[in-house]
Amino acid sequence: MYKKLIVTGSIAYDEIMDFPGTFKDYFHPEKLHQINVSFSLTGLEKQMGGTATNIAYSASLFKVPVSIRAAIGLDGREFKDFFEKNNIETNKLIHDKKLFTATGKVITDKNDNQIWGFYFGAGETAEKLSFKDLKKSDLLIISANHPRAFLNCQKQALKRKIEYMYDPGMALTWIKTKDLVAGIKHCRYLVGNDYEMSMIETCMKKKLSDIRSKEQIFITTLGPKGISCEYEGKVIKVKQFPLKKIIDPTGAGDAWRGGFMASLIKGYDLVKALRLANAVASFAIEKYGTVNHRPSYKAIEIRARSL
């Protein structure tokens, strides 16, 4: 049915720093009108990430055609090399020579509380991406990105009547109701975790079941409980692969998306695609960072068969 996966979303560096204490010991309610706090940190990790990076990489493990459409900055050559090494098409990447690549910086305390800062940088230029060459046989994913870039992808998908997976969870704080409803109403696949699905209904002020058509597939990811998929009036549930040790759940959802859509490109039925997606997500959880898992496709299939 589909021949190529088109991945949109963010490309970003993740800088992860560890604080051995607890934030609550340094923030006093009576002094919050003026904050001036400095933390001495014990660790620093710089990883490649971003929704588009993570999704495209996990999809590439399935050896299917993947094209990434996003923006990198003047320091983004590392990303381009990484994509090309993993046979991900980069001819539609925007390479901005003035802005830095988007970067997220986070400090995590010993209780796993986090303070984040995110710089969109070159991600802002992703609104200039063109989709004129998309074919009816392409499958597109619209994932978290700069607001204007996200809406441009949505507009282009609707205009060109391309089938797409809609992943609006991280856009719910800013997206207008009319745009959210339009994105959901015309998508082939909708995906989000249980909290995001609930928030979508809150934002729309209506139930997803009230707008879902018979052909649409709505998928709710449930973390260690697996997934729940609604299709043609039925609910399909697939458990998560049992792991002895969880190293880092960051990016598991993106790995799931990449695995699911890559399975559709390979022509597998819905149930097998769901199982393979759960399997590749389990490999991501076993590694620190979002693109450091390297299972063979055979290893992914073996895990999927047990689900």
Here the tokens at position 128 are 């200039």
* Superfamily name and number for 4-11+50-101+120-305: Ribokinase (3.40.1190.20)
pLDDT at residue 245, rounded to an integer: 86
Q: Tell me the backbone φ, ψ of residue 78, rounded to 5 degrees.
A: -60, -40
Share of the chain above pLDDT 90, in %: 78
Q: How confident is the model at residue 60 (pLDDT cuts 50, 70, 90)?
A: very high
pLDDT tens for residues 99-122?
999 998 888 888 878 888 889 999
Q: What is the mean pLDDT of residues 240-260?
A: 91
- Segments making up each domain of the chain, as ranges: 4-11+50-101+120-305
pLDDT at residue 33, rounded to an integer: 64
For the chain, the average pLDDT equals 93
Burial of 118 (0-12, 13-18, 19+ CB in 10 A): middle
pLDDT at residue 248, rounded to an integer: 83
DSSP code per residue over 244-256: S-----TTHHHHH
Q: How confident is the model at residue 36 (pLDDT cuts 50, 70, 90)?
A: confident
pLDDT tens for residues 163-216?
999 999 999 999 999 999 999 999 999 999 999 999 999 999 999 988 899 899
pTM (predicted TM-score): 0.92
Asked if 145 contacts 10 with a C-beta cutoff of 8 angstroms, the reply is yes
* Cα–Cα distance measured from residue 274 to residue 261, given in angstroms and rounded to the nearest whole number: 9
* Cα–Cα distance measured from residue 265 to residue 64, given in angstroms and rounded to the nearest whole number: 7
Q: Which of 190, 274, 192 is nearest to 239 (CA)?
A: 274
Q: How confident is the model at residue 32 (pLDDT cuts 50, 70, 90)?
A: low
Here the tokens at position 214 are 């018979």
pLDDT tens for residues 275-301?
999 999 999 999 988 999 999 999 999
